[in-house]
Amino acid sequence: AQRVTQPEKLLSVFKGAPVELKCNYSYSGSPELFWYVQYSRQRLQLLLRHISRESIKGFTADLNKGETSFHLKKPFAQEEDSAMYYCALSRSSGTYKYIFGTGTRLKVLA
Amino acid sequence: EPEVTQTPSHQVTQMGQEVILRCVPISNHLYFYWYRQILGQKVEFLVSFYNNEISEKSEIFDDQFSVERPDGSNFTLKIRSTKLEDSAMYFCASSAQGGQPQHFGDGTRLSIL
């Protein structure tokens, strides 16, 4: 079965501390993985996709097929990073629907 | 930057009534989706739509649900006879091509009384 697991509902870190938001997936084929961010009262916005391998707002994520993980990392958290973060999996063919994790709320403390 | 727009932002409806949620996807996008999020739960896929037909639907998307693209711009989700458990946030999304990232609207909060 296709599944995305984000084990932490809430992650609190101090400003300037490193951040790692965990995402594990279960999928038998070749998935596409995404991170979306939702700031307070705003829409879901694409943060990263695994195939682009870029860094957005200082965040990076590497797909580890051996561990079936796609963890989101940032070396130095900023207060404006406080938001809800969702990991999503899409098939690489067919309808491309997303399967979402339950989300992790990141709180960056001053 | 173009955006997906959804109306209304909040809809309150009596149980058993019909409701139509509206979405205007980004203009050159070809793939359209509806998702929902019940309070405190994950975002769940409802239905995908491509080439003027449903390409996939979830178990949630039963006979009470339907989607339409009545013209070149709107994409609607209709719930024929609402139930209390339909109360949720409904998100519309679109993408330019299959496999391209989906762009989401702000959502419609549906409250069934």
Check CB contact of B50 with chain A, cutoff 8 Å: yes
Quickly list H helices, chain B: none
Q: What are phi and psi of B84, to 5 degrees?
A: -55, -40
Check CB contact of B96 with chain A, cutoff 8 Å: no
Binary contact (A90, B45; C-beta < 8 A): no
Contacts of A100 (CB under 8 A, 6+ apart): A4, A86, A87, A88, B35, B42, B43, B44
Q: Which residues of A touch B35 (CB under 8 A)?
A: 98, 100
Average pLDDT of the residues of chain A: 92
- Range B11-36 average pLDDT: 96
Burial class (CB in 10 A: 0-12, 13-18, 19+), B40: exposed
Check CB contact of B45 with chain A, cutoff 8 Å: yes
Contact, B38 vs B107, CB < 8 A?
no
pLDDT in 10s for each residue of chain A, 110 residues: 789 999 999 999 999 999 999 999 998 888 899 999 999 878 999 999 988 777 889 999 989 989 999 999 999 999 999 999 999 999 877 778 999 999 999 999 99
Instruction: State pLDDT tens for residues B36-54.
Output: 999 988 999 999 999 999 9
Q: Residue A108: which H helix or E strand, with range?
A: strand A104-109
Binary contact (A98, B95; C-beta < 8 A): no
The residues facing A7 across adjacent strands are: none
- CA nearest to A84 within chain B: B42
Instruction: State pLDDT tens for residues B42-100.
Output: 999 999 999 999 999 999 999 999 999 988 789 999 999 999 999 999 999 999 988 88
Structure token digits, residue A62: 């590497």
Binary contact (A42, B106; C-beta < 8 A): yes
CB pairs under 8 A between A and B: 59
CA dihedral B27, B33, B37, B41 (to 10 degrees): -130
